Amino acid sequence: MDIRTVGIIGAGQMGNGIAHVFALSGYDVLLTDVNEAALKRAVELVEGNLGRQVTREKISAEDRDAALARIRTTSQLADLGQSDLVIEAATERESVKDAIFAELVPHLKPDTILTSNTSSISITRLASRTDRPEKFMGFHFMNPVPVMSLVELIRGIATDEETYRLLLDVVERLGKTAAVAEDFPAFIVNRVLMPMINEAVYVLYEGVGNVLSIDKAMKLGTNHPMGPLELADFIGLDTCLAIMNVLHDGLADTKYRPCPLLTKYVEAGWLGRKTQRGFYDYRGDVPKPTR
């Protein structure tokens, strides 16, 4: 099977980045979202990000124009039915993903490969609710997609070898590097990263350090480019909490218990950069810590 057309579900932060890298690598992309404004915003973001790559001489103006010409949008999920590969990049809630696949599956070609960009949810479980568990995989990109080189490939219990090999080839064509993970809660990256972020929130919650001291300590003490609380704001505190809940529920270990302060921030709607407030307040010229 030769993968040429790619359908992407969700025009948010991850979806527009995935559309960007696929279009730039020569794939025809059809991007869908229930929100027409989100689709328009996604294309504008891709155009702006491609423009920055031209300015930095990473790509040519011709590459940019060709990539933009390969991206189409639709608000109708069924329009993705003729895609060779579908990547679901909707919100990190299993019920939402199940509903999307239930609506999409009747319209798919028999050989279409289904994937999810989930950062934590069971691939085996998602696949079992479709008509093609053998052609279903986890296809987890890192954020921001155009910059980060890693893609986690997660095989469900039923994923066949051909599907795995095809997606491995796709990752290589994108110029990225694959890390193969087994299908356990949060896979590799978030299994390690999220407990670190959660522990940083505990350090804040217990008064061991404030926001600035925690982030400064980790940046300078471990040479991380971004402190854990700053990174949590970038990822989205709701996403961090959702992944911690998946770890806690899936592994039944108290060490994965979400920090109550993380829960409190999410309840307040302080989700990080996307809502202008999280562990930092982004409403001014310079981000200011909220604790």
Count of C-beta atoms within a 10 Å radius of residue 42: 25
User: For residues 134 and 158, what is the distance between their CA atoms, to the nearest angstrom?
Assistant: 5
Q: Binding site annotation covers 143? A: yes
Q: Binding site annotation covers 12? A: yes
Q: Computed over its alpha carbons, how large is the radius of gyration of the chain?
A: 19
Q: Binding site annotation covers 97? A: yes
29 DSSP β-pair partners? 6, 71
List the catalytic residue out of 49, 120, 122, 140: 140
- Work out the burial of residue 233: count CB atoms within 10 Å of its CB; fewer than 13 is exposed, 13-18 middle, 19 or more buried: buried
CA angle 66, 36, 82 (to 5 degrees): 60
Q: Binding site annotation covers 33? A: yes
Q: Binding site annotation covers 15? A: yes
User: For residues 52 and 59, what is the distance between their CA atoms, to the nearest angstrom?
Assistant: 9
Active site annotation includes 140: yes
Q: Binding site annotation covers 92? A: yes
Q: 127 with 156: CB under 8 angstroms?
A: yes
Q: Binding site annotation covers 116? A: no
List the catalytic residue out of 83, 116, 117, 119: 119
Q: Binding site annotation covers 89? A: no
Q: Binding site annotation covers 216? A: no
Active site annotation includes 119: yes
Active site annotation includes 190: yes
| Residues assigned a catalytic role | 119, 140, 152, 190
What residues are designated binding site for NAD(+)?
10-15, 33, 92, 97, 119, 143, 274
